[in-house]
Amino acid sequence: MNSFPESNCIFPPPDASMSEVRNNFDQELMAADWGCYADTNVEGLLVKASLDAVESILIEGGGQVEREVYDGTTEEAGLLVLQLQDQEWTVITDAWYLHMKGFKSYAPRSWNWERQARKLSERLPTRTILFGTSDTGGTTDYSVWDNGILVEELKYDEGEDPDLEEECDMDSPPIPRRPQVFNSQLRDPAAQEIKDFGLLFLDFLEKQQVSWLSLYALARLDGIPRADFVRLDLVRVKIFPSPIANLPPPHMSLTDALNFDKDYHHHDYQSFLYTDKAEGLLVKAPLDAVEAVLVQNGGQLQRDVYGGKTAGEGLLAFQLQQQEWSVITDAWFLNIDTFESHSPPNWNWEIQGQHLSEQLQTRIILFGVSEDEYDIYYSVWDNGILVEELKYKEDEASHLRLVFNSQLRQVKAQSIQKVYKFTFDFLESQQMSWLTLYTLTRFYGVRREDFVSLDFITWHDRR
């Protein structure tokens, strides 16, 4: 195959400038070729760096590059990464947007365009441009990052554009398209002074020496000959996603971590408190000892799955460096593409918690959050005996339901004023690190070197 399918629209020369494409090539272009681009849903990155340099960052932590997918098919989660001849900008896009036979891959669920734009800009270091548009939602936005710093952003939503509410006919002057948000450290105009955000963006791209073809390739490859590519690759990103905010140091106390950063407290840490359902076991024993019992009870062990994938019925078991608690959780809660496994139907967290505590002769804590029955709950076993449990729910009528029983301390349920603080204070008293609790439901930002080992156990209970 020498080229992708021909474009259905008029196609400018590859070396045409952005202004030539916009103004001089053909009046039908805006309605035809540029319309073919604009009349779509797309989000992607332009990175001012070589293809190889960009891919070297993307595959850190276990990613893989499948080179030269021009003639092939792509089906697994991944990103299309390409560079065009004589262009200094590399393009990262989601093949899903291309609607082309053979390209059936899609960006991983854990992939976040904005965080990756910032990361690539900081790591390379260079300028990155994140661009997105949706004809369905009537939105367009872009952001520009220099060495990891946001230096310009624009957001437009036609649903919030008062000028579009006015009736007009074919003889009316063009309706201004003013963005609702425009912030820049690079140039002066205020949002209300911008007559057409599209022209502002294209003028900016032309000054950055971004070709119209590089922008076009974010959403269309129709008609681009093979010879125009430096290379067209599929990158499977297997690293865990970056956190929304800065994470505290790994060994910071739980109390200090909760106060580390307001954005962190709201987004990263407490995000697991608002998930549909998540629960797992915290076992006060080395990972090898925990896994030996699980294998004895019917499990099969697959070691070090950090850079791999899991599927079928099984559990993730791991321990973090310098922590005495091991963790058993369900990969399904983590929302990471390569971890497609889920706990088996015959696995019961409460029963297994009690059995493991008895077999290992140690303390085990079952911790969970749920939108169904209880907002937050935990149970504690010592050597197989239940010694404390808490279950808390705030219903729609704002009536609190709190169950608390303990053989460890003399506390009545009605005396507990702040349930979450009460719970976290107890966990901290057990020398539980914030990172250990966090990894029950999130791996965002956790590095391979933070783990003693991250293993997968398929489960067939023989007891």
Q: Tens digits of per-residue pLDDT, 158-213? A: 766 656 555 445 455 555 566 778 888 888 776 667 777 777 788 888 889 988 88
Residue 266 — very low, low, confident or very high, per pLDDT cuts 50/70/90? very low
Rounded to whole angstroms, how far apart are CA atoms 353 and 282?
Answer: 9
Q: Tens digits of per-residue pLDDT, 119-162? A: 899 989 999 999 988 766 678 889 999 999 999 998 887 766 65
Highest mean pLDDT out of 10-14, 99-103, 429-433, 456-460: 429-433
293 exposure class (CB count in 10 Å sphere: 0-12, 13-18, 19+): middle
* Angle subtended at Cα 440 by Cα 438 and Cα 445, rounded to the nearest 5 degrees: 50
* 8 Å CB contact between 339 and 310: yes
pLDDT of 398 reads 47
Q: Structure tokens of 165?
A: 């509410």
With b for 16 or more beta-carbon neighbours within 10 A and e for fewer, the 170-205 pattern comes to eeeeeeebbbbebebeeeeeebeebeebbebbbebb
Residue 455 — very low, low, confident or very high, per pLDDT cuts 50/70/90? very high
Distance of CA 398 to the CA centre of its chain: 33
* 8 Å CB contact between 50 and 41: no
Q: Pick the more confident residue, 358 or 423.
A: 358
CA dist 398 → 394, 395, 401, 421, 445 (Å): 6, 5, 9, 19, 35
Residue type, 22: R
How many other C-beta atoms can be found within 10 angstroms of the C-beta atom of residue 296? 11
- Statement: residue 267 has pLDDT above 50: no
pLDDT of 40 reads 66
pLDDT of 263 reads 41
| Residue of 44, 17, 22 whose CA lies nearest to 32 | 22
- Statement: residue 32 has pLDDT above 90: no
Q: Tens digits of per-residue pLDDT, 246-260? A: 566 666 667 666 665
Highest mean pLDDT out of 15-29, 57-71, 302-316, 406-420: 406-420
Q: Tens digits of per-residue pLDDT, 78-88? A: 789 999 999 99
pLDDT of 274 reads 45
Residue 37 — very low, low, confident or very high, per pLDDT cuts 50/70/90? very low
Count of alpha carbons within 13 angstroms of residue 244, beta-carbon side: 13
What percentage of the chain exceeds 70 in pLDDT? 69
pLDDT of 416 reads 86
What percentage of the chain exceeds 90 in pLDDT? 28
Rounded to whole angstroms, how far apart are CA atoms 416 and 405?
Answer: 12
What's the sign of the alpha-carbon dihedral 182, 184, 189, 190? positive
DSSP state of 301: E
Q: Pick the more confident residue, 362 or 437.
A: 362
Mean pLDDT taken over the chain = 78
